[in-house]
Amino acid sequence: MAGKRRAKTYPEKVLKVVNAGEHGAVNIYRGQIWGATLSCPSYRTELREFMAHEQEHRAIFQAELDARSVRRCTSYGLCGLGGLVLGFFTGMLGKRTIAVTTVAVERVVLRHLEDYRERLKDSDRQAYDALSKIVEDEQEHHDATERAAGRPGPFLWVVGAIVSLSTEAVIWTGMKI
């Protein structure tokens, strides 16, 4: 990472936070695919498809960071590890728990994407365009998993709440560091 500098401006911070988030998302799916081996093996086809989207998203934001000579977020490695652990345990609990986890993540992500795009629309068209490329996929992940999750009972409601709060905390921290 020689010659790269820390993200300083708002668009740079958004790009590095989304890049780290996509790395987290890739690893949530990777963990869920492992965890689902016993709990719901047939669901893994869709999870693999979603993971491939997240890998594309991660590459889009990595290319943006490279073009600006900006380093990855300090949280990048931790996002990957946290995602893997979260994915594995929710994966072992079965399809509805997997789906509730994804809905919770995507709901937070879609809200932040909307906010970033609104703020960058006139000031940084390139960052805006990069963000716009992933909205449709994230919406698809949200909608498909919302259907699979059904109406969550108390346990799944708590899982969703913890995942939402954790996602918010990761994004908030990423923008600060």
Residues that bind Fe ion (CB under 5 A): 22, 25, 54, 57, 138, 141
Q: How far is the CB of 116 from Fe ion (least distance, A)?
A: 13
Nearest-approach distance from CB 160 to Fe ion, in angstroms: 16
Sequence-distant (≥ 6) Cβ neighbours of residue 113 within 8 angstroms: 18, 131, 134, 135, 138
d(CA 75, CA 130): 21
Distance CA 75, CA 134 (A): 21
> From the CA atom positions of the chain, what is the Rg in Å?
16
Collapsing DSSP states into helix, strand and coil, what is residue 24?
helix
Residue 141 Cβ, how far from Fe ion at the closest point, in Å? Answer: 4
User: Cβ closer to Fe ion: 44 or 57?
Assistant: 57
Rounded least distance, CB 43 to Fe ion, Å:
16
Which C-beta is closer to Fe ion: that of 5 or that of 111?
111
Cβ proximity to Fe ion, 25 vs 149, nearer residue: 25
Q: Which residue is nearest to Fe ion (CB)?
A: 57
